[in-house]
Structure 1
């Protein structure tokens, strides 16, 4: 099969969907791999390294014209004209992106989304490492923007001798939230985590003891915790669906001036009422005296690490698609659950419910647990 790897064009997106090691593996299996010139530069992977692995270096059209296209981030409007009736494997987040859903339908693309590839146990094996990276970065970026030169309260995450650390409130104790909580604890912050799942809260309490306060999530509990927060991290995810809104504007109005809110769920529409996507070049905006950070490709800040993690997580699924094409979606339940668009119709129940006016058919595979 011919496999194409385009260069990412989203703002400061430094990741690439395939490493030279992955290219070598695919070429050894008999596939033709074409990598757009400079695709790996953001992760310090050179064209020469891909050539040495047996891949060809080509143009944008060469990469997009392959039977299987491997990307990292969802196609942006300037790429819609490049869509075709081939296989596309990337992050899509279609529940929050109707224009892209329409473009994929119109092109007849068979689009499989990393974020809805789901194993039988309910795990999200490709999304998970990116969520963990985003969670850790949420604390790093939040702590950075708490500094006075960047508009923050002038609060150090770990405090100082005789001075308490910043109050960090993490909403959601899934993969991203757990990573954020760990980063906050390591930084010496006064950490609070909220979740609806008692087992997740118990796990946090057992791991960190009195270094973390675990609170059952509710609108009242969120309101109470945000009142004294310096940094709030929204890490609420429902696979494939728009993120639930857990922080209304009225709560932001009551927060301390110079506090920071980081919305990890922005790819799925965001979990703060005031959230709107930002970029690495212009990451924050002010709402009621607080800074909102909602960069839609946070792991792009650590391209070398994130590319390696993504390539490792996706490798088996990439190999299956390369070897079997669309039939891999029938044979592997996890990949079948990742199918979002096929032959001009939506094939993911959560995405179809988000866009009920678009053509849809039942999923190839139901989400785990249904």
Structure 2
């Protein structure tokens, strides 16, 4: 255990911690904080989010026909409120605009009318006008359940079409989960995963290279205990990487809590209001758990590959060069298909679990090959 602790000290040097902190801070500021500060981003997206929250409070996880009629009644009341506002504006009255219907059909090519419309909607930001737009889209979506899938005829195979039909029969077209919450999380978790994998690489690069650079390997390989350092270093690298992953995820979910989406956690992600169709009947919280599991499993695979790279690289520059193609694959394909949009119906149903098993198996075999070579390696 003492040897593992000493190896951990070599990995978590002050320089490494500072480097990871700086890289993480930059990535948060450039790619993550915007989606925290501006969620939902603009209008009527904000109004759609608020309307969905109200829908969830009033009707629960699904909205049946009677509840939908109530939703439309609220929409009509909002139109009445908009009409009352229009009648209170002298400029609109002077232009002959007395109702919301007339306001919506205004000739925006007319410079005067266009200026009035712009003032109400984009300068005064009268909330009711934005809410009406949001509710109109939601009503139209609910009234057309055939649009549940974003895929056209012939784009899906028989099994995928059967899944779509099954979801429609099970009431997914009445579920109230919104794409705003799902896409926001999907965007964020991909960037967080990239940041995590980059941090793991930075931690593991000196795993074996450091001893080669200091020529300590010649002393280590003269004893049985020294030879065992190869596996102890891997264990230290695994502990360090899991620690880095856990810290990053903890920080992310602490910030993510500020998006006020916890009420959506128990909802199924298969909803007519979500641009995502899953192979499985899972909730948003279960989807989040699956993405976290995938990140941890890919992190373990990365440890094995990075350890092999570090063990064969003669110096830091070579190690960095060998990590570059790995980073391109992991940051691109890895995060897009094994972290983001997992379980989506347009991909093979078992793609993610099979891919993860294959990746872990290949990485384990690769490390096993390096371990056997190290056991009989000549120090000359």
Whose relative contact order is higher, 1 or 2, with alpha carbons under 8 Å and at least 6 apart? Answer: 2
Which is helix-richer, 1 or 2?
2
Which is strand-richer, 1 or 2?
1
- Report the TM-score, using the length of structure 1 for normalisation: 0.23
- Report the TM-score, using the length of structure 2 for normalisation: 0.23
